Amino acid sequence: MAEPQVEVRRSKRRRQTVSAYRDGDKIVVLLPARMSRAEEKRWVADMLSRLQRSETRRRSPARNSDEALVQRCRELSVKHLDGRAEPSSVRWVPPMRTRWASCTPSEGTIRVSQRLRDVPGWVLDYVLVHELAHLLVPGHGRDFWKWVERYPKTERAIGYLEGLVAASQLQIGLTDDETGAEDAEDADESDGD
Ligand SMILES: [Zn+2]
């Protein structure tokens, strides 16, 4: 994975502790004010790898198979969409050039880019809720977002994905999918890549 954007903040009140967290598209590392540059460098590298490890541990079980993906969609639909989104198929597909996932509402099918296999589970959940909501409302109007925002980490997940795009310079639109026939064609074409 490409180097993420890092912001180092030093605090006079902070004496011993070092901490780090992800804030939208960047990683913030908090350090004691009196730390030397050499120590800073070592700690930043250390905290980045710790954060990455903990995010790796939080990957979704849905990463393992299409069946697990379908199961996760079922859970998310029940939890956030009143069980109303019932896809006919959900599957992992090879990385698409321009989107994280796509959906063909007329057929009830959802395809998810393998680029998302290693993101934290809560980020993948957002993408799945987004696609599931398209089975209820095509397009990205207010009605659509009302459904999606029932998923509480929507805003954070969008920030995370923006960060991923920035870090790896992917050309991926965050409003992934246009819906309908054209979209399906596009996705099929990408499948063949
Ligand atoms: Zn969409």
Taking the centre of ligand 1 as the mean of its atom positions, its distance from the CA of residue 190, in whole angstroms, is: 17
- CA dihedral of residues 11, 3, 100, 55 (deg, nearest 10): -60
Taking the centre of ligand 1 as the mean of its atom positions, its distance from the CA of residue 5, in whole angstroms, is: 26
Taking the centre of ligand 1 as the mean of its atom positions, its distance from the CA of residue 18, in whole angstroms, is: 38
- Domains in the chain: boundaries: 5-57, 61-191
Q: Tell the residue number behind the tokens 């870090």, with chain if given.
A: 167
Taking the centre of ligand 1 as the mean of its atom positions, its distance from the CA of residue 137, in whole angstroms, is: 10
Are the beta carbons of 107 and 88 closer than 8 angstroms? yes
| Entry pTM | 0.69
Rounded CA-CA distance 82/146 in Å is 13
Are the beta carbons of 59 and 120 closer than 8 angstroms? yes
- Which residue, among 44, 46, 181, has the nearest Cα to 103 in the 3D structure? 181
Taking the centre of ligand 1 as the mean of its atom positions, its distance from the CA of residue 178, in whole angstroms, is: 6
Taking the centre of ligand 1 as the mean of its atom positions, its distance from the CA of residue 124, in whole angstroms, is: 14
The residue type of 50 is R
Taking the centre of ligand 1 as the mean of its atom positions, its distance from the CA of residue 34, in whole angstroms, is: 47
Rounded CA-CA distance 26/9 in Å is 13
Q: Does domain 61-191 have CATH number 3.40.1400.10?
A: no
Taking the centre of ligand 1 as the mean of its atom positions, its distance from the CA of residue 11, in whole angstroms, is: 41
Taking the centre of ligand 1 as the mean of its atom positions, its distance from the CA of residue 140, in whole angstroms, is: 6
- Which residue, among 24, 26, 25, 30, has the nearest Cα to 9 in the 3D structure? 30
List the chain pLDDT tens, one digit each, 193 residues. 456 788 999 888 766 778 888 776 688 888 888 888 998 999 888 888 888 888 778 888 888 899 999 999 999 999 999 999 999 999 999 987 778 999 999 999 999 999 898 899 999 999 999 999 999 998 999 999 999 999 999 999 999 898 877 666 555 554 444 433 333 333 333 333 3
Helical axes 66-80 vs 121-136, angle rounded to 10°: 70
